[in-house]
Amino acid sequence: MTDFISIQEAMNKGSGEVSIRGWVYRERGSNNIKFVVLRDSSNILQCVIKKDDFSDDKFQEAVSVQIEASMEITGTIKKDERAPTGYELSVKEFKIIGASDTFPITKDQSPEFLLDKRHLWLRSRKMTAILKVRSTYIQARDEFFRNEGFYRFDAPILQPSQCEGGSTLFEVKYYKEKTYLSQSWQLYAEAGVFALEKIYNMGPTFRAEKSKTSRHLSEFWMAEMEAAWFDLKDVTEFAKKEIKYCMKKVCEERIEDLKLLGRDSQKLLEIANKDWPTMKYREALKILKEKSKINISFGKDLRTIEEDELMKHFNTPVVVTHYPKEVMAFYKPKDPKNPDEALCFDMLAPEGYGEIIGGSQRSTDVKEMTDELRKQGESVENYDWYFDLRKYGSVPHSGYGVGVERVVAWLCGLDNIKDAIPFPRTMLRWKP
Ligand code: 4AD
Ligand code: MG
């Protein structure tokens, strides 16, 4: 049995005999020599197969190797400044495990073509780097919540009613009835906190977004938390702590991947170490008016352009609280001190990445919530179970949801949110 090591481990070793396995990233050759750059999940390495070292038949095998063929290779590794990653392997033995047809992806292909071939494009160095950042971020978040004493709590994906407005619901045939795909874990989490007090999860989330933007997916992963006894201030500070923790982990562990994506982990780390401002929506309007000459009257949600304009004045994330009550979801309570404001918040990312978190304290006013749902044309009976939660020992509680792909897109500096998820779903794309 051969002992295979990863390409990165082989380069760390730097000399002597090693056995590696992976896929052909690039290949070129002449009559006497064949260069194969092999790729595995850790890195790439140039391997040289010389005609003189093999029988004619065996060398012909090497000549026939195409991009993305899988191979096992044994040879001697040494430093070589001319090689793409600074090392070269002189091949003693090789075996083709799976030959490859001519790979359909070549240079300079359109984003749409790459999405059609997504199952193959995932192997690219760019996608591999993004997927690693995503994985590190998600694992760091899990670690954060466990350190903070939270329990993981799961909610149904098939839900009988809306949480974030009926217009973006995906309807599903449910035996002889109809139901909907989850827009949020939240309403069920509000039941969970009365048992577990501090809970979190991360789950697939669905929104039938009718707009085509670089920030919206129809299926995305929302990373939510809910905690009993937390008020708006507690939850906004906690959100900053969570994102900072995850950023630091990603910056420590994914330096090379961030670099490959054109991101400077040091700069991101500096952002994570700064204080992030919290301001009321009314103050945000003032900044827009004074610094950007944009006049918005109180009572409207911030649109993408206004968010972007506001964030031009900041180089860290900003928490905006107290949005106008009348345009907010039914469960966001009014501020007793200013009834036209809701006890809610968004966290906005810098560099034009927009809203990454939405959250709030939760209303305990059943009448107000009922009226609001009725106004939206909802069947209020569907929420009876939710209102029960306010009847049996209700306590102040709060929570929020992080858009996983929005955070990944920001950390990786992506042009489009579609690259932050392996197989994106949008209004126009649901395949492969
Ligand atoms: O602001 P949203 O709609 O908040 C909620 O759903 C709350 N119920 C969460 C909670 O309090 N537990 O969504 C939360 C976050 C947004 O800030 C955004 O980052 C992301 O989810 N998000 C999307 N990401 C990608 N594509 C979409 N269509 C998204 N819609 C929301
Ligand atoms: Mg929101």
65 strand-pairing partners: none
| 424 in contact with ligand 1, CB cutoff 6 A | no
pLDDT tens digit at each of 432 positions of the chain: 889 999 999 999 999 999 999 999 999 999 999 999 999 999 999 999 999 999 999 999 999 999 999 999 999 999 999 999 999 999 999 999 999 999 999 988 999 999 999 999 999 999 999 999 999 999 999 999 999 999 999 999 999 999 998 889 999 999 999 999 999 999 999 999 999 999 999 999 999 998 888 999 999 999 999 999 999 999 999 999 999 999 999 999 999 999 999 999 999 999 999 999 999 999 999 999 999 999 999 988 888 889 999 999 999 999 999 999 999 999 999 999 999 999 999 999 999 999 999 999 999 999 999 999 999 999 999 999 999 999 999 999 999 999 999 999 999 999 999 999 999 999 999 999
Starting from the CA of residue 405, give the closest ligand: 1
| 421 in contact with ligand 1, CB cutoff 6 A | no
Supply 266's token pair.
């040091």
Give the per-residue pLDDT at 1: 82
The whole-angstrom distance between residue 126's C-alpha and the CA centroid of its chain comes to: 15
| 400 in contact with ligand 1, CB cutoff 6 A | yes
226-261 pLDDT, tens digit per residue, is 999 999 999 999 999 999 999 999 999 999 999 999
| Residue 162: strand, helix, or coil | coil
Q: Which residues contact 49 (CB under 8 A, 6 or more apart)?
A: 33, 34, 35, 36, 59, 62, 91, 94
268-309 pLDDT, tens digit per residue, is 999 999 999 999 999 999 999 999 999 999 988 888 889 999
Starting from the CA of residue 189, give the closest ligand: 1
Domain boundaries, the chain: 7-98, 115-420
* Top mutation candidate among 200, 348, 355 for ligand 1, by most atoms within 8 Å of CB: 355
CATH number listed for the domain at residues 115-420? 3.30.930.10
* Fold that domain 7-98 belongs to in CATH: OB fold (Dihydrolipoamide Acetyltransferase, E2P) (2.40.50)
| 362 in contact with ligand 1, CB cutoff 6 A | no
Supply 429's token pair.
């794309």
Which ligand 1 atom is at minimum distance from the Cα of 402?
A: 15
| 403 in contact with ligand 1, CB cutoff 6 A | yes
* Top mutation candidate among 188, 406, 410, 426 for ligand 1, by most atoms within 8 Å of CB: 406
| 207 in contact with ligand 1, CB cutoff 6 A | yes
| 150 in contact with ligand 1, CB cutoff 6 A | no
> 70-97 as b/e, with b when 16 or more CB fall inside 10 Å?
bbbbbbebeeeeebeeebbbebeebebe
Starting from the CA of residue 215, give the closest ligand: 1
Q: Where are the beta strands (DSSP E) in 146-295?
A: 151-152, 158-159, 171-174, 177-181, 198-206, 219-228, 278-280
- Ligand 2 centroid to Cα of residue 357, in Å, is 7
| Residue 383: strand, helix, or coil | helix
Q: Whose CA is nearest to atom 2 of ligand 1?
A: 358
| 220 in contact with ligand 1, CB cutoff 6 A | yes
Compute the distance between CA of residue 68 and CA of residue 43 in angstroms, rounded to an integer: 14
DSSP output for 273-304: TS---EEEHHHHHHHHHHHH-----TTSPPPH
Which ligand 1 atom is at minimum distance from the Cα of 222?
A: 21
| 217 in contact with ligand 1, CB cutoff 6 A | yes
Q: Whose CA is nearest to atom 1 of ligand 1?
A: 358
Q: Report the predicted TM-score, pTM, of the whole model to 2 decimal places.
A: 0.97
Compute the distance between CA of residue 383 and CA of residue 404 in angstroms, rounded to an integer: 28
Starting from the CA of residue 356, give the closest ligand: 1
Which ligand 1 atom is at minimum distance from the Cα of 407?
A: 19
- Ligand 2 centroid to Cα of residue 164, in Å, is 9
Compute the distance between CA of residue 308 and CA of residue 147 in angstroms, rounded to an integer: 34
Q: Which residues contact 22 (CB under 8 A, 6 or more apart)?
A: 7, 38, 39, 40, 70, 71
Cis peptide before 432 (omega within 30 of 0): yes
| 357 in contact with ligand 1, CB cutoff 6 A | yes
Give the per-residue pLDDT at 301: 80
Q: Whose CA is nearest to atom 24 of ligand 1?
A: 403
